[in-house]
Amino acid sequence: MISQTAEYALRAMVFLAIRESAATGQEIAKATQVPPGYLSKVMQQLAKGKLVKSQRGMGGGFVLAREPEKVSILDIVNAVDPIEKLLVCPLGVQGHGLNLCPLHKRISEATAQVENAFARSTLSELIVESKNPLCSVPLTPSNRA
Amino acid sequence: MISQTAEYALRAMVFLAIRESAATGQEIAKATQVPPGYLSKVMQQLAKGKLVKSQRGMGGGFVLAREPEKVSILDIVNAVDPIEKLLVCPLGVQGHGLNLCPLHKRISEATAQVENAFARSTLSELIVESKNPLCSVPLTPSNRA
DNA sequence: CAATAAATGGACCTTTATGTCTATAATAGT
DNA sequence: ACTATTATAGACATAAAGGTCCATTTATTG
């Protein structure tokens, strides 16, 4: 459904939202169980997508760039791994602009459904909704603010 | 949304449904614009999934194993590339059996939506619904029955 | 039986996604 | 100014998906 990379990005964002203060890559990686080296790549993409702000040096790390209410799941997924849209017929056939054949219309509709669902969910919903945000990632002394 | 392989499988099945008689791998590959060598792999998977019947030798090829009304898009996708279900928390956390955290619940729900949408569409719908099935794949002399 | 036409199975190659490692650049504290 | 800490960038490695090729098997026809 979504790529591994998108999963990682979502976990990291949820973690930052829970935490409400800067966290280093190491901390995020540990808490979210993402390979540290790879996480840094993902965080870079999130930074480029203006979803987090990064700060180097001591006391630095990553912080959300916006309120959790204003970040959708779709924003996050798109930042690292844009959902491809299928606006063009995968066969080489020209001439039916947006008039996709029934097969591709079905696929396109399913994609749109997912996009809408993801666009409607905000980061804030993901943390207030349960006592178990992020599958109970523990806020240990090392990753608590 | 769906893998390349699943796309290929769907195209091949639509083609067979339109055609209503046996077609060889070559014919299907040409009509659906799938690399012939790869298509044969895909067809094998469809055969193992009992969606098509295969026949070797002269006059052989592939035929649908069931009426197009009784084959769903989901059947086809599952035959070649099962949608992974996310029933287990991707973090290592034990203990919340089906009680996924909000994040994973969202992803899981989106997956379920797509599955339902695909389960509801049948192959027959894909061919009767328009004059342009399969993005106007032409039935040339070489691929017509 | 021989020849041809097809699918099957397996080995192999290529590309993309995922993951690792290291050197560099920026920042803060001393 | 120096050192420690942190993100950044890029090279590299591994795994998975996509794709090619060929020998083998099964079937049909003459």
Distance CA B114, CA A117 (A): 11
Would the pTM of this model clear 0.85, i.e. be above it?
yes
Strands (E), A43-125: 52-55, 61-64
Residues of A in contact with B89 (CB under 8 A): 135
- Write the pLDDT tens digit of every residue in B93-145: 554 555 678 888 899 999 999 999 999 999 999 986 655 666 655 555 444 44
Q: Choose among A109, A111, A135: nearest Cβ to B101.
A: A135
| pLDDT in the model for residue A142 | 46
Q: Is B104 on the interface with A (CB under 8 A)?
A: yes
Q: Do B89 and A135 touch (CB under 8 A)?
A: yes
Kindly provide the b/e burial profile for residues B48-67, where b requires at least 16 CB atoms within 10 angstroms of the residue's own CB: eeebbebeeeeeebbebbee
Q: Do A14 and B134 touch (CB under 8 A)?
A: no
Instruction: Find, in chain B, the residue whose alpha carbon is nearest to that of A101.
Output: B135
Q: What is the largest CA-CA distance in chain B?
A: 61
Query: Beta B52-55 vs B61-64: how paired, if at all?
Result: antiparallel
> How long a stretch of residues is chain A?
145
Q: Choose among B2, B102, B113: nearest Cβ to A117.
A: B113
User: Is A114:B113 a contact under the CB 8 Å cutoff?
Assistant: yes
Which spans in chain B are helix H? 4-19, 25-32, 36-48, 73-80, 102-120, 123-128
pLDDT at A92 over 60: no
Q: Do A132 and B96 touch (CB under 8 A)?
A: yes
How far out from the chain centre does Cα B46 lie?
A: 8
User: Is B114:A113 a contact under the CB 8 Å cutoff?
Assistant: yes
